[in-house]
Structure formats: C-alpha cells, structure tokens
Structure 1
Amino acid sequence: MNPKIRTNKFYIVVFLVFVIFLFFIQIRRKPTVEPLILTELKKNVQQCVSRIENMTFLITEDAEITETDKKYSKTVQLHLGGFRDGGLGNKMFELMTLIGIGDTLQRRVLVNATDLNNIRILADEIYPIFPKIIDEFEFKFVPTAAATRQDLSVGKCCTFDDPKQFISRPEKHLIFDGRYFQSFKYFNHIRLKIRDSLKPKIQIFQKAECLLPERHRNDFIICPHIRRGDFQTDDFHQPTDPKFTRAATNFLVDYCRAGYRNRKSHPRVTVAVFGNDVKFVYEVFKDLVDTIELPKKYSVVLTPTLAPEIDLAFTRKYCDVTLITAPSSTFGWWLSYLSKEGSVTYYRNIQETQDKVANEMKEEDFYPPEWIKLRYDNVTGRIDKF
C-alpha cells in the first residue's frame, strides 16, 4: 500500500476518534441552566423597578436645608482606611463612627478635602444612596502639619476603644488613626440620628416594594441575609452555611408562629431572603419558594440582587425579624441595625464557625446586647438560643 494513503487513513481514524470523544463529553455534560423561576423572578422585578425609575419626575423629596452645627470650634477626622478596599458595610461603619466620635468629643466632623479619593467615593458611592449623610460633614483643606494624629482602635476590626479618653485634648484638629471601627458603641448613643442619616430616598422604598408580592405585605416577615461570594475563597470569613440557614429559618418560623418574647403569635409568616447568591438561596429553599398554587409550611420569597440600598429599604420597611447567617458580614449587620423599628435580630454564634474575624472581635462590642445569638448543632441540626 502506498505509504501516503496509509498515513492519510491514520489521520482520518484519529480525527474520527476525537470527534466521537467530543460527542460523548458533550452529551454527558450537564448544562448549567438557571431555573425558570429565577429567570422569571429577575425579569418581573426588573420591570417593576424600571417603571418606578420612569416615574421619577412625579416624586418630590422633602427639601431639607441643614446647617452644620457651628458651636464647636475643634474638629475631628478619621483615617478612612475602609474606603479604599472595603465594601459598603465597612464604609458605613467608618462614617457613622466618625459622626459618633464627633458627638462624643463635641467636635465638628471633617472630611479632609485634600484626600480626593475619599471625596470621590463619598460623591459617587455614598451620596447617591444616602443623600442626607453629607449634611453631617464639613469638607475642608486641612494641612497635614496642622492636625494631630492619635491612635484609636488599632490592630483589631471589631472592638471598642472609648474616644472619651481624648475629650480634653486641646488640639484644634485631631485625626484618629485606626482600622475599621466596627463597633456599634461608637455611635449607638445617637442611633436615631444615624437611622435618619441613612434613610434611603422615597424612590428606593418604592423599588423595594417590587421585591415583595402584595399578598405578603401584611404578613409577619422574617429576613435571613446570605453572604457568599468572596467569603468562600478569602480563607478568612465564614460564608453562609446552607444547613444552618435552613435550620435557623425553620426555628424562627416556628418560634414566631408560637409567639415569642411575650409577643403575640403570627399565623401568617413569610420569609424574604437577601444576599449575593440567589441560586444558592434557591437550592436551600426550593421546596418552599413562593407560588400561589401549593400550600407550604411557609413561603420563601427570593430577592434578586439589585442594589444594596434597595435591600436596606426593604428591611427597614418590612422585616420583623432579621437573621445574620454569616456572622462577620458587615452588610448583614447594617441590614439588621437599620431594620424596621421594633424588629428582632438573630445571628449565628461566630465561635462555632471557622470565621477568623472572631480573633479580632469582642462580641459585646460588635453585636448589640438586644440581638440574640443562635447555637447550631452540626450533628443533630438543632438550633437553640443562648
């Protein structure tokens, strides 16, 4: 046989084997198709939000002109380290801590206009969400040599370092160097002011209504917060665990239906889940996802990830109970702190997880005392309150 013909046959056989191999790989591979219910959910919510955005011209915000209090002659600043690499929750902690320290030390609150990065973030990321917050700050150029730097809350994210120790400092301009300042104790004494400063615009509340079907708006609403994303890969934080989330939600539904903390029972309980992974939420609760047709133990409303301010507006308007499933999530923390007046917050015991933030945290400084810690038994799946 001609060697050239033999070589061609060999290549043809190799090619056919390769094609057959690809065919079998293709038919064995399961396509990752998003469940239809999630596709429809995202479509319907987005249509609702778009309608509200197109009605902007009909909405008038209350015009408030707030003049910064001038009675204090001294100023205070904070090294806003979280602005450079932190998420919205971290930024909120630093800004609210700065306002709280200013009130404690009776100093005017400054954001140094020489740091253009901080000004840009305030203008682009904070002001569009919380327009009233800008009224709490003065923006001035303060030369570095004119300000005195002082360490505060250095080394650990979630502990309270009482600023009252510096109330008698004589310097006109004081800058606190620290890290994260993630403790409610810096600003809890002005909680009403904080809630007012972080109140979303009317239009945001209207968008939040799109997330909850009208048939559930008079129900007792339990709101678990899910945190996955980078928490799964950063080898530092504990992401939301599916078994804990389902067990804790079941526990809270039963607890609220039976009546809790000397409150009345709630026969109509709905669960609205927030977070950054709606597919994960669907897998955890898919047998309970809200539909009109099927009776269930309780209904779970899935909320597609839209914008953080919409989640904040929703919890503030609807959530009677919040559940923090990732114990070091700062955004989950703020969803609870700013939730509906009279709401109750539950959170997972960070000590029973692999969350390394526990090494930088004093729990009594991070979690307000009225919040309730939950214990989870990995073997039995049992949930208990501390």
Structure 2
Amino acid sequence: MFVDHRPNFTFIFVYSFIIANIFLIIYLYFKTPQLDNLYEIYKEEINRIYGNEQFISMNLNNSNGNCGSIGDMKKMWRTASMYMIGKLLNRTVYYESIYKCFTEYKQEFEITFKNGGQLIKLMNPKQKYIKKISFGIDSCDFDSPYRLEGENAQIIQVTGSEFKSFKYFDDSREEIHKMFEFNEDIKLAADEAAEGIFRNYTPEYRLCLHTHRHEYIEAGQASTLEFIEGSIKFVMKRLQSTNSKNIAIIFFGSDKNFLYEIEPEDGHNIYIPSINNNSVYLYFGIKYCDSLIITAPCSGFAWWMGYLMPKNKNGNIFYNNCNGYCKCNKQFVQNYFMPNWVPLHKNKTDGVSIY
C-alpha cells in the first residue's frame, strides 16, 4: 500500500498562522496600554492641563450615585476621611461634578459650616486621565492610606466611597473640629432653641440619648425600650458616683411617639427638642449635651454628635454594643468607635453593664 509522505502544507500553514497570531496577541497585550492604564500615555496632556498638582477622588458608583446628606452623615465621613488621606499623600481631593448631588453637597456645606465651601472641590477630568485603585471598599473598615504613597499617577480614584472609620483622622481631632465649625446662623438657631427648652429650668448636667428607628429596626440595630431604660439607669448611677447633680435627660430621635414611651427613673426633667433642621439639631446636641448614649450604634448622626462634642466631654459617650452583633460593630469595632467611648450590653440578669 502506497503511503504519501509529502508534508501537508495546508495544515502547516493553518497551524503556523494560529501560532503567529497567538504570539501577536500576547505581544500587543503587553505593548499596548490597556483601558485601565490609558493615563500612562496621556501624562504630558494631563500635566499640561493640571500642572504639577496631584489629585485624588472617590468612586461614587459604588454608592449608586448617592452622596448622602447631613442627616445620614455619609458626607461627614467622606469629607473628613478624604481630606486627611489627601493631606497625607499631598494630593488635592476633588469630587466628580458629573454627579449633581455633589453640587448640592457643596451648597449644603456652605450653608452649614464656616469653611464648607472650601471643603468641596468639583472637577470632571476625563476618565482616560484617571488611575483607579481598589481602596476602602469596606465602609466601616480602615484601609491604610500609606499603601497609596507609591502611586505616581497624577490623578487617582479610589473605589471606596464612605470611609467610616475614625482612624483616617485619628490624630487630627482639632483639625476636624475646625473643619466642621458651624456657621453663626446655625449656632444662633440652636441657642434660641435651648433658650426655649430651658427657659424655666437650667440643669447643671445634661444626659442625652439618641435613638434611630425605622430602617434600623429591621436590621436589628435599633435598641429596645428595655435596653434604653436600662442604659439610662446604668449611666445615671455612673454619673452620680462622680458627684454629677441636677441631671436632666434630653431625648433625640425622629420617632417622637417612641421617645414618649421611654420611662426613666423619676426625679429627672425630660426634654425632647423640636428642631426640624438637621444641622441645627446636630449642633444643639454637640453644644448642650454633657454625656451621650448612642442606642443605634451604626447611626452616623449620633456618632458625629459624640465626636464633635468638646474634648472634655468626649469620654462620657456610651453606645449599644449589640452584644457584638451590629454590622459596624462585630468585625470593625476597633475601627469604628472611639477607644474612650464606653460599650454597653445587656447582661445575663437583663440589666445593662459595660461590655
């Protein structure tokens, strides 16, 4: 039987063509800038537009385009943390003007804070100019900014968007307090509210209790009535042991019906401020509270009320530890709550004690 030993040129050609294309694809992959690295080939153009200034921003896409409000405090967390990250890296923080809410964000800060207008820089650089970096994805965790120090791209954007950890600005307390110094009209409105509330009686000491219900009930982060009353009892004993006298109690929260159900021990005046403006409400608590009980531990409003209280009062802040089961508590308690704040939990005898 005759066997044809001549080479199959068609097979050789096809095989060689495939191999050559594979090598060509590999070569082009490593030689051609990828979409995520376009900023590399636009260095001169970026420098011509922005000079030598370096920038950093965050990615609002991960928050579904939601900037947050003074009420939910995403803005406060983001602004404080990003400011200090930018300062550490010697980069100017900017927010993308393509999101309408950032313009509203800037306007709200201008109305609320003395330096509010300077805190928000709006820009809209082309996406090809930006290097995107995975950073700060877990909202209540702490991601060290030092790992961004080696980035040499002129404009970088981190993937996180909330940065709910005091560790981003742990050593800059006075600077953050100055950053969020309220405008005079906010202060005046809070002082006028205080005059009305305390017109017939001026307590020597004010214990404040903040509640947050609604969506926190379903999430298991809203304290029960029993826990709240137990917390008041526990903190009262602690305060009285330090010779605090003439203690009044101030309740904060949007669910007024729930606030009226709270029955602390007799002998203390109870106040429920009726203030509709969130900024005035926040400043009122910061100025007029001597101690604070945070009953919904993941409430940003209560957290910032406590953090912005004067330094001499900041050790008098208590929070519901949820026995370790709160979203921002169980895993990241060391990053979220200030170390000198006091964690409370329900003990085996259904009372409240320090965790």
Query: Shared fold (TM-score greater than 0.5)?
Result: yes
* Deviation of the 1:179 alpha carbon: 4.3
Q: Counterpart of 2:208?
A: 223
- Is 2:172 the partner of 1:190? yes
Quote the offset at 1:335 in angstroms. 1.0
Q: For 2:111, what is the secondary structure of its paired residue?
A: coil
Matched residue, 2:278: 308
**Which of these residues, 128, 131, 137, is aligned with residue 148 of structure 1?**
131
Alignment partner of 1:304: what SS? coil
Aligned 8 A contact 1:77 1:109 in 2 = yes
8 Å CA contact 1:72, 1:108 repeated in 2:
no
2:335 partner SS = helix
Q: Does 1:385 align with 2:351?
A: no
Distance in 1 between residues matched to 2:327 and 2:151, nearest whole Å: 36
Picking from 170, 184, 190, the partner of 1:202 is: 184
Q: Do 1:75 and 1:110's aligned partners in 2 also have CA atoms closer than 8 Å?
A: yes
Is 1:348 the equivalent of 2:320? yes
Q: Which amino acid aligns with 2:147?
A: Q
- Contact 2:206 / 2:249 at 8 angstroms: preserved in 1? yes
Q: Secondary structure at the match of 1:84?
A: coil
Encode CA deviations 1:28-64: one digit per residue, 9 max, x unaligned.
xxxxxxxxxxxxxxxxxxxxxxxxxxxxxxxxxxxxx
Match of 1:75 in 2: 55
Q: Aligned equivalents of 2:198 and 2:144: distance in 1? A: 45
The CA distance in 1 between the partners of 2:200 and 2:177, in whole Å, is: 28
Residues 329-386 of structure 1 deviation map (CA, whole Å, 9 limit, x = unaligned): 1111111111233112111113355x44446x41000001111111222x63322123
Q: Is residue 365 of structure 1 aligned with residue 335 of structure 2? A: yes
* 1:315 and 1:338 in contact (8 A); partners too: no
Paired with 2:161 and 2:179, the residues of 1 have a C-alpha distance of 23
CA shift for structure 1 position 93? 0.9
Between structure 1 and structure 2, the one with the greater Rg is 2
Distance 1:132 1:75, change over 3 A: same
Q: How many Å separate the matches in 1 of 2:346 and 2:52?
A: 49
Who is 2:156 aligned against? 174
Distance 1:93 1:383 in 2: 30
Q: Superposition RMSD on alpha carbons, in Å?
A: 2.4
TM-score by length of 1: 0.71
Q: 2:81 aligns with which of 97, 100, 119?
A: 97
Q: In structure 2, how many angstroms separate the alpha carbons of the residues matched to 1:258 and 1:71?
A: 61
Task: Show structure 1 runs of 4+ deviating over 6 A.
Answer: none
With structure 2 as the length reference, what TM-score do the two structures score? 0.77
Q: Which of 100, 116, 127 is the aligned partner of 1:133?
A: 116
The structure-2 alpha-carbon separation of the partners of 1:237 and 1:161, relative to structure 1 and needing over 3 Å to count, comes to farther
Count how many residue pairs are aligned between Structure 1 and Structure 2: 297
The equivalent residue for 2:43 is: none
1:1-386 aligned within 5 A: 73-80=53-60, 81-82=62-63, 84=66, 86-87=68-69, 88-123=72-107, 125-154=108-137, 156-209=138-191, 210-211=193-194, 212-232=197-217, 235-259=218-242, 265-285=243-263, 296-343=266-313, 344-352=316-324, 355-358=326-329, 361-377=331-347, 380-386=349-355
- Partner-residue secondary structure (3-state), 2:208: strand
Q: Does the 8 Å contact 1:278/1:304 carry over to 2?
A: no
Secondary structure of 1:181's aligned partner: coil
Give the match's secondary structure for 1:327.
Answer: coil
Q: Which letter does structure 2 place at the counterpart of 1:228?
A: R
| Amino acid corresponding to residue 144 of structure 2 in structure 1 | D
